Amino acid sequence: MAGWLSRTTSLFQKPPPPLPEPFEVECDCGGKVVGQRAGNYQKPTCPNCSRPVFVLPLNVYPRPVTKSPPKSTSPKKGGESRGAQPSANTAVQDIPALNPTKSASGKKTDPGRATPATVSAEPELLREPRPPLVTPLRLVAAAIIIVSLFTIRGLVNRQRIETAKATVAASADKGMAAIKEGDFATAAKELEKARLAVDLLGRKDQTADDIRRNSREATAIANLAASSLTEFLEETLANAKPGQSETLRMASLDKNAWVLFDATVIPTGEGGNQLTVDSPVFLKSAFVEIEIDSAAISKLARSAESGENPRVIFAAQLEQVSAPRGEPPKSVLTLNGKTAFLWTSYDTYSAIGYRPHDVESEQQTRALIVRQLESR
């Protein structure tokens, strides 16, 4: 009871004044400032450089009380008793470590120097785990995006198909009507739209095949050479220089222009698709021979049953003209066999103006065009 009362009354008593605490602070210049700490912080000057040095005030908090280690018992006179055993603590403190140990910071310690018990290893900070790349939410979002893209693509393709179906009949009718009226530029444009539509639809029926053939022929008619074949060759050969070996330069208007031929073709050599058009052009400057390498025309020419060189109606683009050589001078007009095609429509053929004068010739021309259509 008395102890409790004395402890309670001590709380209201004024604490004793703190003991003086010396300080020794090192300045940046290397000098040392020595003195006694006060209740407030101080700024004494350095004796070497005269610069102020900050000094902390007295520590107002009580110092922690450390427990003193247990005192070791001294052995009695006359030596230790036989049954007495040295304690574990005594063995550890008295026997020095034979091998150097490492402290918590990883540095080697002196084997003869004891490590303070208060030193402990700093805890390592664990890294925050990374979130997984694939999560259920991300999988659902990716699935929604993929389904949306396929849906949009399907809607776009469906719209294109519906537009193509509506374009086929309308453009084909406009194109054929333009051919009858002699408007070949409009015919080529409309029939090309119809051809693209049937290609998009993947149609392979007879109507789609007719649209493709009419489109190809209308394009050739719309891009026929501006001048006749004789005028074109005379203008090209006029630019030839004596001894020139390379091909001649063609006029830009006639380059890749189309020409319609109704002539006999002669296969050259055994096998291959090289043909000579039996329609040479005789000019004052040179004799011009026409050649073409076409599989479609060669197939028709070699399948002739009569054994004679067959008559063929075909369209081809002008490719190049060689410089005149030899004596008398000879030049070669080469046609583009990759784009050349057999004519297969009598309506487009007659629309250009190639209508036979007599009935027999007209029947022969119609029969030839039908035979060319069947040989494709």
pLDDT for the residue numbered 348: 87
Reported pTM: 0.57
Q: Which residue segments constitute the domains of the chain, with CATH numbers given? A: 19-59 (no CATH), 138-222 (1.20.58), 229-342 (2.40.50)
Question: Can you state the angle between helices 206-222 and 136-181, rounded to 10 degrees?
Answer: 60
CA distances from 81 to 12, 93, 131 (A): 54, 21, 68
The DSSP call for residue 227 is S
Supply the pLDDT for residue 18. Answer: 65
DSSP alpha helices (H): ranges in the chain? 2-10, 88-94, 136-181, 184-201, 206-222, 229-237, 295-302, 346-352, 359-374
All residues at 6 or more sequence positions from 240 whose CB lies less than 8 Å from its CB, including other chains: 248, 285, 323, 324
Who contacts 205 (Cβ-Cβ below 8 Å, separation ≥6)? none
For position 232, what pLDDT does the model report? 87
Per-residue pLDDT tens over the stretch 48-103: 888 898 888 887 776 676 666 665 554 444 444 444 444 444 433 443 444 444 44
Model confidence over 127-154: pLDDT tens digits? 777 878 888 888 999 999 999 999 999 8
| Arithmetic mean of pLDDT, 219-229 | 88
d(CA 352, CA 184): 9
Q: Which comes out higher in pLDDT, residue 244 or 346?
A: 346
Of the candidate ranges 66-80, 170-184, 212-226, 262-276, the one whose mean pLDDT is the lowest: 66-80
What is the model's pLDDT at position 293? 92
Start-to-end CA distance of the chain, whole Å, equals 128
CA dist., res. 343 & res. 263, Å (int): 12
Distances from the Cα of 56 to the Cα of 16, 22, 46, 63, 88, angstroms: 21, 11, 16, 16, 44
- Residue 99 · residue 111 · CB < 8 Å: yes
Angstrom CA distances, 195 to 188, 299, 341, stand at 10, 26, 17
Rg (CA), the chain: 55
Lowest mean pLDDT segment, chosen from 18-22, 223-227, 371-375: 18-22
**Is the pLDDT at 107 greater than 50, yes or no?**
no
**What value does the mean pLDDT of the chain take?**
79
- Number of neighbouring beta carbons within 10 Å of residue 148: 10
- Report CA-CA distances (Å) from 267 to 273, 288, 306, 312: 7, 18, 15, 12
Q: Is there a cis peptide before residue 328, judged by omega within 30 degrees of 0? A: yes
CB-CB contact of 66 with 46 (8 Å): no
From 96-100, 129-133, 263-267, 335-339, the region with the lowest mean pLDDT? 96-100
The secondary structure of residue 42, as a DSSP letter, is: B
What local confidence, expressed as pLDDT, does residue 70 receive? 62
Q: What is the DSSP string of 57-74?
A: ----SPPPPPPPPPPPPP
Which pLDDT value is given to residue 284?
85
